[in-house]
Amino acid sequence: MKSFLAKRLGLSVLTVGLAAIIVFFMTHILPGDVARQSLGRQATEEDVIAFNKLYGLDKPLLTQLFNWIKDLLSGNLGVSMSTSRPVSETLIPALGYSARLAGVAFVLIVPLSIAGGIIAAMNRGKKVDRAVTVGGLSAAVIPEFVWAVILLLVFGVVIRIFPISAMPDDGNGGFLQSIWHLLLPSIALLLVLFGYIARITRAGVIEALDSDYMRTAVLKGYSRRKAVTKHVLRNAMLPTIAVVASQIPYLIGGLVAVEMVFNYRGFGTVLLAAVGGRDYAVLQSGVILTSTVIVSFQLIADILFAVLNPRIRQRISE
């Protein structure tokens, strides 16, 4: 188990490292000049040279890459080129906001989708089943930013149940207050992911329900309900975990669009602004943070998968 963890951890670090290199070169391919963008049209040639020298942009690319990675490893995310303040000052609070939104969305999406899948499977072929599968699929074909706009218009503008901004007015507000504000954007994400996760869960539960071991459980004397909780769910959850983990990158991507619509000062908004302003430092570090988050969740899913599945666990321990 230890060597498995070490291997997986090493692989995760490698993934993030590769992402860092790719991101570095990608940002430098972006058209436009950072100095000009930051300093404005009036800037003289000397100003530009001074700016480039200040941020090390005059050095060869590989040196820049090396310096950046060196800084990253020491926990220094760099200095924003547009605000001249440490990147962490912008990114870390934004990350906190986004994590809060993602957290609310996750807590909403995962249990609801799994419950939907289980209910559909238990009522196979009945109306509930069809409602979940067809409804879920129909909702998923509409992109999250469209849902966001629709939800905003209907429940924020016309009916006015929910606030139109995901940010409480005073910027922070109480815990419940901020969750209340995050509900509508989370629902937009839920609508897109529900169908997918519910369908996978449904398939897993049906497979387990039809299995020989489920039959054994019933013939041992379990009631159907008890047999489901004792024998079906654990086996049915395996494919679901893999799917949920694979949807994390999507969830984060979805956040970017939804944050824009709900005017939320999260990670996505900051990154988008950084792209517009050619703020290499913010962009690069932002992407690295994102990939770290994604890779961590994948790692957690892998471990969870192994814990639940004795076959995998055995292969690991051998």
In the complex, least distance from residue 196 CB atom to other proteins, rounded to whole angstroms: 24
Does 213 bind other proteins (CB under 8 A)? Our answer is yes
Measured between alpha carbons, how far is residue 222 from residues 158, 205, 206, 207 in Å?
A: 51, 17, 18, 19
In the complex, least distance from residue 7 CB atom to other proteins, rounded to whole angstroms: 15
Contacting range for other proteins; rule: CB under 8 A; set: 80-88, 92-100, 133-141, 228-236: 228-236
CB count within 10 Å of CB 170 equals 8
Query: What span, in angstroms and rounded, lies between the C-alpha atoms of 128 and 126?
Result: 6
Does 235 bind other proteins (CB under 8 A)? Our answer is yes
Paired tokens of 43: 């800037």
Query: What span, in angstroms and rounded, lies between the C-alpha atoms of 64 and 62?
Result: 5
Q: Using CB under 8 A, which of 100, 199, 202, 231 touches other proteins?
A: 231
By beta-carbon proximity to other proteins, the closer residue of 128 and 308 is: 308
Residues in the interface with other proteins (CB under 8 A) total 23
Site residues for other proteins, 107-136, by CB under 8 A, read none
Q: Using CB under 8 A, which of 58, 172, 230, 276 touches other proteins?
A: 230
Q: Which residues contact 12 (CB under 8 A, 6 or more apart)?
A: 295, 296, 298, 299
Does 310 bind other proteins (CB under 8 A)? Our answer is yes
Q: Is 222 within 8 Å of 142 (Cβ atoms)?
A: no
Q: Is 140 within 8 Å of 155 (Cβ atoms)?
A: no
Q: Using CB under 8 A, which of 45, 46, 170, 318 touches other proteins?
A: 318
Binding site for other proteins (CB under 8 A): 211-213, 215-224, 230-231, 234-235, 308-311, 314, 318
